[in-house]
Amino acid sequence: MIAAYAGLLALWDLGGSPQAFIALFAAAFVAYLWATRRLEATMPVVMVLSVAALLRLLLLPLPATLSDDILRYQWDGRVVLAGFNPYRLAPESDELAPLRDDLWRAMPHKQVPSVYPPAALGLFSIASLTAFPAIALKLLLSLADLVACWLLARLAIARGIPAGRAAWYAWNPLVVLEVAGMGHIDGLMVPAMVLAVFLLVRGRAGDSARAGAAAALGVLAKLVPLVALPMWARQSKQWGPFAAAAGALMLIAILPVVISIGGVPPGLVTYGVSWEFNGPIYEPLWRGMDQIGLDHWVKDRLDTLKERIGRHEQLNHVYPFVYPQLLAKLLLAAVFGLVWIGSLRSTDPVRASKLLFGAVILCAATVYPWYLLWVLPWAALERDRAWLTLSATSALSYLPQHTEVPLMPWIYLAVWLPFFVLLLGRRWLSS
């Protein structure tokens, strides 16, 4: 395993040599499977953390060539330190012209204001105070991720399973690569989520309020845990203190943002409407809708409705929104809504978190490899073969961004087919 990580470090420019990267990543994953299966039942927490720290240390110097997110992190931190509002001003704004340099020139999506919550911006700002902000940011995120590994080991013990089960997350090559190598902000969100669930499972006096505060910190790092707050509140022994702590923290941090821009950050709107990549159900769904002409069928029904009720002018505003991509997003939003409602009845925070965050990924229009960090802590504790396998195949989704190989159909199938076979096969066997 160490040799595979050393190979990644020696390769240096992973984006410039994607095939070699995939080969080394596969070797690291095979070694990870062998070591974790062999040692899981007997290794102490200190061994889990020591190996996890070593693996992250090996990839810390690696330049983030697979993803350009860290460029935006550094820019947003610089904007905050300069006293500007990154939620209101996009990087291309004239007001920010004095900050432009090579970082700005290399950064994509200059027309989109920041989408990152206040805690993330705070971390970006701290890193930007240093002489080497990219390394500083990856170091801070790696330390946060090691805290997540420790909390996951404690959560395993609290659930009556070996602490070594946490190694399925702590040693996972995808986790190490995306946090220590590429420096994704998800590394700050994960420890807050795991802490919230650990406190819910432990259930001591005062843990409900602490869990609410931890969950809120997760939301303030990245908005994804917002979907789990109602579920976690119902699973806490005292939902009132949980909701009060989470609500107060988020209100204090987010209200000034909403006031400063007069509503929802425009960058979030742009992301929700425009970003599309590797959605596991979304990709084949909208393409299928387009193939059968579902949008034309809907427009024909609108024509009929207009003639029946006589509201031509009002319904004419609907037509521009009737296209396969949006119809697919609306359908998947409805499916996720049903899963979300079902999650409110769950009493197991770990399993429910895996199902809910898994549903977020499966119903999303955009799924990058680092999004799997949302579900991998819970999949590790349950040794979920489908999600762990996906953490291996998801690295293939980097190929379309760094080669001329298109995502559809073969890369998409290579990424998602093994996952769905394992997922649906498990459900079929258990039924």
Q: What is the pLDDT along the chain (431 residues), one digit of tens a residue?
A: 888 999 999 999 999 999 999 999 999 999 999 999 999 999 999 999 999 999 999 999 999 999 999 999 999 999 999 999 999 999 999 999 999 999 999 999 999 999 999 999 999 999 999 999 999 999 999 999 999 999 999 999 999 999 999 999 999 999 999 999 999 999 999 999 999 999 999 999 999 999 999 999 999 999 999 999 999 999 998 999 999 999 999 999 999 999 999 999 999 999 988 899 999 999 999 999 999 999 999 999 888 888 888 776 777 888 888 999 999 999 999 999 999 999 999 999 999 999 999 999 999 999 999 999 999 999 999 999 999 999 999 999 999 999 999 999 999 999 999 999 999 987 675 54
**pLDDT tens-digit series, residues 50-108:** 999 999 999 999 999 999 999 999 999 999 999 999 999 999 999 999 999 999 999 99
The label of the residue with tokens 């770990």 reads 350
Dihedral sign of CA atoms 109, 110, 111, 114 in order? positive
Which tokens is 338 given?
Answer: 């049903």
Q: What is the pLDDT of residues 218-228, one digit of tens each?
A: 999 999 999 99
CA distance 56 to 325: 39
Cα separation, 22 vs 349, whole angstroms: 34
SS3 238: coil
Alpha carbons within 13 A on the beta-carbon side of 210:
13
- Asked whether the bond before 265 is cis by omega within 30 degrees of 0, the reply is no
DSSP secondary structure string, 40-73? Answer: TTT--HHHHHHHHHHHHHHHTTS---S--HHHHH
Residue 303 is predicted with a pLDDT of 87
Distance CA 377, CA 200 (A): 15
**C-alpha to C-alpha distance for 8 and 22, rounded to whole angstroms:** 10
For the chain, the first-to-last Cα distance in angstroms comes to 37
pLDDT digits (tens, 9 = 90+) for 180-202: 999 999 999 999 999 999 999 99
Distance of CA 109 to the CA centre of its chain: 19
Distance of CA 338 to the CA centre of its chain: 21
Placement of tokens 């690291």 in the chain: 28
Q: Give residue 133's identity as a one-letter amino acid code.
A: P
* DSSP codes joined into one string, 68-108: -HHHHHHHHHHHHHTT--TTT--TT-GGGGGG-SHHHHH-S
Q: Do residues 116 and 124 make contact, with C-beta atoms less than 8 angstroms apart?
A: yes
What is the predicted pLDDT for the residue at 429? 58
